[in-house]
Amino acid sequence: MDTSIAPTRSNLLKLKESLEFATLGHDLLDQKRTILVSELLRLVDQAVNYQDRMDAAMDKARKVLMRTVLEQGRLKTAQLSSAVNIQSDFELSERKVMGVRLPQVQTSFSGQGPFFSPEGTSILVENAIEAFREALELMGHLAELKVSIMRLAREVKKTVRKVNSLEKIVIPDQKQTLAYTSDRIEEAERENYILLKAVKKSLSEKRGGQ
């Protein structure tokens, strides 16, 4: 509570406006916190789903590759893999949620088969290529989600601190200052009223004695 503010009507008006502004700021920040937390929880659910999908895709890709090696042999599998010319590209963009910049990752691949003759080659090779491509695409989405979660969590933490500061420190302090200043003004007005009555009475008595 600030007790150094002069007890005037103009200062009282300023205090009321400041309190209204702080209350409005608290309400807006509280709404922001709710939206951010909702988005954070949504992305966490997505990240769990994508993590499971990526783990499954990687497990599938490894198993298919192992079967390919067993069927085609290490040497031929290595020769076939060296013939595969697929380029991956990650296009980065962003979206905003309550002013927080969140990344968006779009994975694309260039280079289409066939990269080798199908004669004497198992279909497992093509399956392995497709499995690793799927896993890589899922990695891009998972990275997008994890970075978004970190940024949202950081912003939620900052917003919560601001809300708590307004709710527990700033607004109560301003309310106390407002009440204190208002009481001082009322007290000063009562004293002035009593003084004016005393002066009026004194003047009346003087006039009556003349």
In a domain, residue 109? The reply is yes
Which of 7-16, 40-49, 65-74, 88-97 ranks highest by mean pLDDT? 40-49
Instruction: Give residue 66's pLDDT.
Output: 86
Report which of 169, 167, 80 is spatially closest to residue 127, judged by C-alpha positions.
80
Using pLDDT thresholds of 50, 70 and 90, give the confidence band for residue 80.
low
Least Cα distance to 129 among 116, 144, 142 occurs for: 116
Instruction: Name the band, by pLDDT with cuts 50, 70 and 90, for residue 64.
Output: confident
The total number of structural domains in the chain stands at: 1
**153 inside domain:** yes
Tell whether 166 is covered by a domain.
yes
pTM over 0.75: no
What pLDDT score was predicted for residue 190? 83
pLDDT at 85: 65
Residue 50 included in any domain:
yes
Sign of CA dihedral 194, 196, 198, 201: negative
Burial environment of residue 195 by CB neighbours within 10 A (0 to 12, 13 to 18, 19 or more): exposed
CATH of the domain at 22: 1.10.287.3240
Q: Is residue 75 part of a domain?
A: yes
Is the residue at 210 inside a domain? no
Is 125 within the bounds of a domain? Answer: yes
Structure tokens at 85: 């010319």
> What does the pLDDT average to over 115-143?
76
Above 90 in pLDDT, residue 117?
A: no
Residue 209 lies in a domain: no
Q: Residue 189: its pLDDT value, please?
A: 79
For residue 129, CA distances in Å to 3, 77, 78, 84, 107 come to 74, 12, 13, 9, 16
Q: Rounded to whole angstroms, how far apart are CA atoms 5 and 157?
A: 34
Which tokens is 131 given?
């499995």
pLDDT at 43: 95
Q: Assign 3-state DSSP to the chain and report helix, strand, coil percentages, each to 5.
A: 75, 10, 15
Residue 74, Cβ density class (10 Å: 0-12 exposed, 13-18 middle, ≥19 buried): exposed
CA nearest neighbour of 22 among 165, 190, 161: 165
Who has greater pLDDT, 173 or 68?
173
Q: Containing domain of residue 18, as a range?
A: 9-201
Pairing of the two strands 100-110 and 87-97: antiparallel
pLDDT of residue 205: 66
In this model, does residue 29 exceed pLDDT 60? yes
Looking at residue 111, its pLDDT comes to 63
Q: Which residue has the higher pLDDT, 9 or 28?
A: 28
Three-class DSSP category at 1: coil
Pick the range with the lowest mean pLDDT from 48-52, 72-76, 94-98. 72-76
